[in-house]
């Protein structure tokens, strides 16, 4: 399996889906011009964090249709972040993988919800693995990265590429200590490298950029550090901080070599 992946660490505008959709289209065009086969955007990329997600949930089908048209127009595989969808009176945080012909390859509903999500959002039913032109592919969202059993379940189905749209932030007050900031970066980097290594997968982790003012006036800082990791080559490409940026890399995952035959007992 070989592909060129673009990750867009997007500075998402809260409660402004039209602006975000337009910027997703602009960055997807840049990714195509850079030769990318697949472009990935962060969690909450269309509506912003949870408040915006629930406010615009009725438009979720239109967002998907617009993103399918974008993938088809550019002939590029697309993971356009996530947004909230409604089904049978329940809300889910859902992400999609769209093929270059505009068809839907697969979708996933976030299983491991962060504390603030649990008020509104229902956990999804389980992992999602599906065929793409790059082999069996899985989707997770943000906090799912902290649960190795998610990856074990996907690996059992033969997954080779896992993609994680993410909106990972921390309170600005944490930045009063450089050690705390360093710990946050270390955690993200360690998880991304470990998940690729222990599962023999390519792992694409796409976080958001910038800062967010919460309704109570506090500031949340996005952790950034979007990256693609590989079981042998470790970090293929990585954002150095939380600034808005598009990064592109070539990724190849060779089949696992067969284990050598045991030596004969003499």
Specify the pLDDT at position 113: 97
Q: Does the pLDDT at position 257 exceed 70? A: no
Average pLDDT in the 199-221 region?
Answer: 89
| pLDDT interval class at 254 (50, 70, 90) | low
- Phi, psi torsion values for 202, nearest 5 degrees: -90, 130
Classify residue 248: in a domain, yes or no.
yes
Provide the percentage of residues in the chain whose pLDDT is more than 90. 80
Give pLDDT tens digits for 117-145: 999 999 999 999 999 999 999 999 999 99
Classify residue 215: in a domain, yes or no.
yes
Specify the pLDDT at position 170: 79
Specify the pLDDT at position 256: 55
Strand partners, 227: 205, 238
Average pLDDT in the 179-183 region?
Answer: 68
| pLDDT interval class at 227 (50, 70, 90) | very high
Classify residue 265: in a domain, yes or no.
no
Specify the pLDDT at position 218: 77
- Phi, psi torsion values for 191, nearest 5 degrees: -65, -45
Classify residue 230: in a domain, yes or no.
yes
Average pLDDT in the 149-167 region?
Answer: 97
| pLDDT interval class at 174 (50, 70, 90) | low
Classify residue 130: in a domain, yes or no.
yes
Q: What is the CATH number of the domain that holds 118?
A: 3.60.110.10
Residues in the chain: 266
Specify the pLDDT at position 181: 67
Specify the pLDDT at position 67: 98
Query: Other C-beta atoms within 10 Å of 200: how many?
Result: 16
Specify the pLDDT at position 165: 98
User: What is the average pLDDT score of the chain?
Assistant: 92
Q: In whole angstroms, what is the distance from residue 71 CA to residue 64 CA?
A: 11
Q: In whole angstroms, what is the distance from residue 52 CA to residue 69 CA?
A: 23
Average pLDDT in the 195-200 region?
Answer: 96
Specify the pLDDT at position 49: 87
Q: Does the pLDDT at position 266 exceed 80? A: no
Three-state SS string over 32-101 comes to HHCCCCEEEECCCCCCCCHHHHHHCHHHHHHHHHHHHHHHHHHCCEEEECEEEEEECCEEEEEEEEECCC
Classify residue 260: in a domain, yes or no.
no
Average pLDDT in the 76-86 region?
Answer: 98
| pLDDT interval class at 87 (50, 70, 90) | very high
Q: Kindly state the greatest CA–CA separation across the chain.
A: 74
Domain with 155, as residue range(s), is 2-252
Classify residue 89: in a domain, yes or no.
yes
Give pLDDT tens digits for 34-46: 999 999 999 999 9
| pLDDT interval class at 50 (50, 70, 90) | confident
Q: In whole angstroms, what is the distance from residue 259 CA to residue 226 CA?
A: 33
N-to-C CA span, the chain: 41
Q: How many domains does the chain have?
A: 1
Classify residue 201: in a domain, yes or no.
yes
The predicted model scores a pTM of 0.93
């Amino acid at each position: 399996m070989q592909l060129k992946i673009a990750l867009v660490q997007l500075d998402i505008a809260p409660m402004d889906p039209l602006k975000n959709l337009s910027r997703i289209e602009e960055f997807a065009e840049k990714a195509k011009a850079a030769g990318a086969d697949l472009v990935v955007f962060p969690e909450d990329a269309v509506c912003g964090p949870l408040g915006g997600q629930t406010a615009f949930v009725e438009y979720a089908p239109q967002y998907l249709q617009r993103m399918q048209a974008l993938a088809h127009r550019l002939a590029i595989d697309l993971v356009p972040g996530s947004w909230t969808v409604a089904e049978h009176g329940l809300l889910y945080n859902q992400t999609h993988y769209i093929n270059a012909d505009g068809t839907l390859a697969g979708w996933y509903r976030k299983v491991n919800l962060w504390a603030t999500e649990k008020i509104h959002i229902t956990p999804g039913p389980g992992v999602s693995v599906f065929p793409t032109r790059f082999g069996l592919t899985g989707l997770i969202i943000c906090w799912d990265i902290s649960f190795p059993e998610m990856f074990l379940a996907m690996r059992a189905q033969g997954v080779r590429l896992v993609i994680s749209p993410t909106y990972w932030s921390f309170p600005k007050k944490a930045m009063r200590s450089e050690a705390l900031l360093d710990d946050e970066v270390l955690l993200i980097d360690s998880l991304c490298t470990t998940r690729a290594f222990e599962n023999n997968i390519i792992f694409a982790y796409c976080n958001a950029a910038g800062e967010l003012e919460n309704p109570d006036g506090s500031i949340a800082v996005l952790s950034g550090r979007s990256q693609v990791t590989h079981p042998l080559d470790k970090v293929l490409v990585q954002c150095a901080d939380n600034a808005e940026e598009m990064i592109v890399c070539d990724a190849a995952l060779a089949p696992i070599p067969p284990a050598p035959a045991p030596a004969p007992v003499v």
